[in-house]
Amino acid sequence: MPPINDAAQRLGSAYVLDSRIGAGAQGDVWLAHRSDAPGIPLAVKLLRADLLEDAGVVERFIRERATLMRVASPYVVGVQDMVIEGSRFAIVMDYVGGGNLRGLLNERGVLPPAEVARVGAMLASGLATVHDAGIVHRDIKPANVLIATSGESADPADGDTAVIGRDTWTPRLADFGVARICDTVASSRATGAIGTPLYMAPEILDPAAPTPAADVYSLGVLLYEAACGITPFVGAPSQVLAQHARRAPGRPDGVPDALWHVLERMLAKQPAARPSAHEVAAALQAAAPALAGSAPARRLTVPPPSAPAAAPYLWAGDALPEPETAPTLVGPASPGPGTPATVPLTPPPTMVSASSPPRRSRRRRRALFGVIAAAVVLAVAVGGVITWRHRTAGAPGSTAVAALPAQADTIELQRITDVDEYRLAPNHGALAAETSYKHWSLYDLDAVGQAPVWSDDCDSAGFWTNETFLCVQDDAGQLIGLDGAETGDVLAFDERTQLGTTGSTAIVIDGSYSGSLVALDASGEQLWRRDGSFRDAHIGAGFIVTYETGSERLLVLSAETGEVLLSEAAENTPDFDSSLPGGIGIDVGTQAFYKVDGEAVTVYDATGTEVGTVDGVDARSDWVLSDAVSAEQLVELLRDVAADNSVHVRGRSTEAGLAVDAVTCTVTGPDGASYTVPERTDGEACVITPEGLIGKDEGVLFTMGQPSSRTDATGDHVIAYDLDDGEQLWRVAGTLVGVLPPSDNAAGKAAGAPRMLVAEGDDLVIHAVVGK
């Protein structure tokens, strides 16, 4: 570490440390220069000596050098070099001399809405670059946003500078590499959680590694403060952390709709409900023109009153730190009507970790299903913004959206109330629901009656196969059949973790944290084994996407045989909470999978043979499947997508282009057909999610509207329209979860009819869709 007198000194043979200019939680910052370029200032961070006592930090410092140095964005303070000299470990960075956003906000109080949007778009763009490199920042706050003057900006595009008075400046995100290096178990115990409570996402305190969604939350808090002068929650650290998890932030008076609804989505309690950094950048950039000329909001000294969150975040083990005394906050709150930005939808997980202690599928009790199911993805489409909800497209036919009739009546068959969590079997023939803490009930969806076939308490639970359900208690796993009878087989789960099931095969890790990947049959007998150091996987449609940490390779395996279908070097562990871990998609059926690399998509058949690569596909949300496809059909669809800007929805034999305008909240189809969106209640978001073509491709199905617990809200609905003329054909309340196979045991006209599962508030509802 530098000497106490801060005297200038050399760092290796290439750098000179001129003067110490700052200090932080992980070390001191020096103004420096290269020996051969004395006129170009640099910033050098010297890590604290006690951090270097941890072998994990030292190993990561060496390993992460290439990753950190390849992050290049005009809105990120770039890492130019990483130096080890004796006991000194240094990160050499761009020097940005205009102070930081904390100082600017202290001076000016608030920024005008248009500038909040422009600055937020730039920071989100920089953050997206960091995330694309596999890095989670973990400490987004105003002090870590440096201000570059026009002469210091790394060539930002025209119009990408924020203007305040006469000052032109570009925000640049700093310290993105420090948490990456210091994020080991030992260093976390030594230094505490990385981050600042005022800006900290609720999931940061959980044992699992944070995802990029945590950074999006922190950026939302930062922009909230830039807009009104104060963070949404204040108080003692324990109070702030509890509010982050349980309270919805109040809306500051004077923050326009176009800005507020982006912030609101960024501050969602559930990580899956937040847009990505890419989507935030796009949404804020799109909102900026409407905000031009808007007056700054009044600078607040206390946050607006908060409200109970509709879907609070619960930490692992349900151990929420309760504030000793909830702070009493006063201030204006005036949420108003308007058209908010859309947000993306991801389904609740259908697999569960079956180990103790619980892993990443942690219990989130009392969460509104509509909110969990309504995490949305922002994607630009013709005429506006379109939302698309990823859902694994398993077996084609009876569980495909295309199986639903267009001309039909709907009949409610069954309602399961007050559901906290649920699991749906891969073939959609059985359902398990948790309706009170740890209490699970199993339903055979083809049974004559509606009563559960089995109920009991489970520490963790999930489907083992399509016909057997796993309940783990005290490290022992009991398998239950769809007749409600225990199979007699008890499986040990003290050193084993279930990752998921294909429906016929359960996939587990042979180890409590990492180990070999093992496939087991319905009775727990081994089918195949792949040795290595595996920790997680994404399973569906007969494929397994996983990562072997020893060889640092991303793998796609056949779930049936364990055969490697694709193997690629990957320095970073993929985000297995993502619908595309490592860019791999297994949501198009059993005949194909694909890999996304920027705007290029490479398609493989079920044997791992490359079928084709298509360039110019901007986002996965640009195409929707109503049924499973072959590899050749997918390549053909992607070529159509690349050829224009519309969202392509592929049915059984027809492909339709859709355009959604989130500003006017309208959607149009082929030949200008217009599909009437239900009129929203004040404060509801414009959410339009194409689900696919139905019937003989003569109908199109959407989930429309925002899930809400308000009794006066329009809420969310599943709506079918005639594809050609836009006539509404049928409609039910809620958000589509999945299509269920027909049951001959259903009553009356519903016997043998296609069915669908819908999340309506805290209820799960099964509807028959009876064709006319």
Name the packing angle between helices 257-266 and 277-291 (round to 10°): 170
Let me know: does 212 contact 131? Beta carbons within 8 Å.
yes
CA gap 177, 172 in Å, rounded = 14
- Tell me, what amino acid is at 213? A
Question: In the numeric block, which tokens belong to residue 311?
Answer: 């879907």
CA gap 655, 641 in Å, rounded = 10
Beta strands 755-760; 763-771: pairing state: antiparallel
Nearest CA-CA partner of 114 in 266, 220, 227, 216: 227
Let me know: does 398 contact 739? Beta carbons within 8 Å.
yes
For 169, residues 6+ apart whose C-beta sits below 8 A from its C-beta are 98, 147, 148, 149, 150, 153, 161, 162
Tell me the torsion sign for CA atoms 405, 411, 413, 419: positive
Nearest CA-CA partner of 754 in 765, 744, 769, 767: 769
Helix (H, G, I), strand (E, B) or coil at 332: coil
Helix (H, G, I), strand (E, B) or coil at 380: strand
Tell me the torsion sign for CA atoms 492, 493, 496, 502: positive
CA gap 274, 380 in Å, rounded = 17
Question: In the numeric block, which tokens belong to residue 382?
Answer: 């013709």
CA gap 358, 512 in Å, rounded = 11
Question: In the numeric block, which tokens belong to residue 476?
Answer: 């022992």
CA gap 678, 713 in Å, rounded = 11
Let me know: does 618 contact 612? Beta carbons within 8 Å.
no
CA–CA distance from 6 to each of 16, 20, 37 (Å)? 13, 6, 22
The DSSP string of 719-732 is: EEEETTT--EEEEE
φ, ψ (nearest 5 deg) of residue 653: -140, 0
CA gap 291, 535 in Å, rounded = 46
The DSSP string of 49-110 is: TTGGGSHHHHHHHHHTHHHHHT---TTB--EEEEEEETTEEEEEEE---S-BHHHHHHHH--
Burial class of residue 233 in the structure, from the number of CB atoms within 10 Å of its CB (0-12 exposed, 13-18 middle, 19+ buried): buried
Which position has the token pair 């493989």?
604
CA gap 281, 219 in Å, rounded = 11
Residues in a beta bridge with 544: 539, 557
DSSP 345: B
CA gap 422, 434 in Å, rounded = 6
How many of the other CB atoms lie within 10 Å of CB of 19? 11
Q: What is the set of active-site residues?
A: 139
CA gap 469, 454 in Å, rounded = 10
Is the previous residue joined to 357 through a cis bond, with omega within 30 degrees of 0?
A: yes
What is the 3-class SS of 441-509, one letter each residue?
EEEECCCCCCCCCEEEECCEEEECCCCEEEEEECCEEEEEECCCCEEEEEEECCCCEEEEECCCCEEEE
